[in-house]
Amino acid sequence: MATLHLMVGLPCSGKTTAAKQLAVRENALLLTPDVWHLKLYGKDFPGPYHDKRHSDIEEIMWDVAKSVLLLGTSVILDFGFWWQGERAVFRQRAKELNVNFQMHFMDVPKAELFSRLEQRNSQTDYVWVIPPAFLEQWWEQFERPTRQELEA
């Protein structure tokens, strides 16, 4: 049976690296919004249209994911899924499609995230530069999955 995999975590937590490895192991389709976003719009972060564009890409990716899941192939959504409510929506979507559901939480200590951010920001040829103040704000906003949520 196909599985909908959610990669959960903040930037620099290792979501995409883990998702790439999972895609190979599971023979699954990996959908990473940053890849499409950079190809379509370039380095528009931060900018007035970035968040809307990113949301639009995620909506299109869900349409693709739904079709692929219905064909019996597993899908990995590398969206971050920062909020419990958002994760609950995708859990329900998996249930409605009658596919398995699994979350992969990249639980990285704050100091390690900031260390990785420094490395990431030095590689500006393929990623957005994220100001440390943004990551600090996101750290405060992020809703860590509960044990019950991860085990459900």
Helix (H, G, I), strand (E, B) or coil at 104: strand
Q: Which of 9-23, 27-41, 78-92, 117-131 has the lowest mean pLDDT?
A: 117-131
Give the pLDDT band (50/70/90) at residue 124: low
Cβ neighbours of residue 78 closer than 8 Å, sequence gap 6 or more: 7, 15, 16, 19, 30, 31, 32, 33, 34
Mean pLDDT along residues 65-76: 98
Query: For 40-53, what is each residue's pLDDT tens digit?
Result: 998 888 888 989 99
- As a CATH number, domain 3-151 is 3.40.50.300
Q: What are phi and psi of 81, to 5 degrees?
A: 45, 65
pLDDT of 126 > 80? The answer is: no
pTM value is: 0.94
Mean pLDDT along residues 56-82: 98
pLDDT of 109 > 90? The answer is: yes
Residue 129 is predicted with a pLDDT of: 87
pLDDT, mean over the chain? 95
The full set of domain ranges for the chain reads: 3-151
